[in-house]
Amino acid sequence: MTASPLYRLLYMSTARHDMSDGDLEAILVDARRANAAAGITGMLLYGDRHFLQCLEGERQTVEALYDRIAADPRHRGMTRLIAGPIDERAFPDWSMGFRRLDRDQAAAVAGFVDLARQDVTDVLPPEIPQEVAVFMEHFSRHNILLSRDR
C-alpha cells in the first residue's frame, strides 16, 4: 500500500475582531495538538486582523481541516490562494502558530515569527516553493508597514 500523495493549501482570511494574545495562544495550542494527530504541518501568520495559513498533509485531511476552519466564526472572507499536490513538505518540522509576544517570550515559542523584528523570508525553509514564499513575504511586509503607520 502506498502513502497518499501530499497536498498543500494556502489561504487568507480576515479576523472578525482584533485577536488578543489569549485568542492567538488558544489557536496555537489547538492547532499544534490537532495537526500533530492528523499529520498536518505548515505555517500560520497573523497581522492586522488577517490570517495567512499554509497547510500540508494528505489531501482529504487538509481539505477537511480547511472546511472546519472556514466554519470558524472568528474570521470571515476565506480566500483559497494555492491548492494542489506536492512532492514534499516545505514545513516538515514546523508547528502551527503565531502570536504577539515581546522579544524575550518569542524566542521560547516554536514556530513564532515576529514580523516586526524578523523578515519572514529569513525563517522560511529553503525548499519552500516560490509561489508560497511570495504570498508570505507580501503578507509580512504589508503588515509591518501597517503596524509602523499606527
- 40-54 residue pLDDT tens: 988 888 777 888 889
Residue 131 has pLDDT above 90, yes or no: no
Buried b (16+ CB within 10 A) or exposed e, 37-52: eeebbbbbbbbbebbb
Q: What type of residue sits at position 49? A: R
Residue 110 has pLDDT above 60, yes or no: no
142 — pLDDT class (breaks 50, 70, 90): low
- 22-35 residue pLDDT tens: 888 788 888 888 88
What pLDDT was estimated at residue 100?
41
What pLDDT was estimated at residue 26?
83
Q: How many whole angstroms separate alpha carbon 23 and alpha carbon 135? A: 24
What pLDDT was estimated at residue 62?
96
* Max mean pLDDT range (66-75, 100-109, 122-131): 66-75
Can you name the CATH fold of 6-149?
Alpha-Beta Plaits (3.30.70)
Buried b (16+ CB within 10 A) or exposed e, 65-98: bbeebeeeeebeebeeeeeeeeeebbbeebbbbb
What pLDDT was estimated at residue 65?
95
Domain regions of the chain by residue span = 6-149
Backbone angles phi, psi at 99, to 5 degrees: -150, 160
- 53-101 residue pLDDT tens: 899 999 999 999 999 999 999 999 999 999 999 999 888 877 564 434 3
pTM passes above 0.75: no
Q: How many whole angstroms separate alpha carbon 46 and alpha carbon 20? A: 11
What pLDDT was estimated at residue 148?
37
The count of other CB atoms within 10 Å of the CB of residue 28 is 21
What pLDDT was estimated at residue 64?
96
Cross-strand pairs, 75:
15
Residues in the chain: 150
Q: If 0-12 CB within 10 Å is exposed, 13-18 middle and 19+ buried, where does residue 10 land?
A: buried
Cell of 104: 524575550
CA distances from 143 to 29, 48, 70, 146 (A): 23, 6, 22, 5
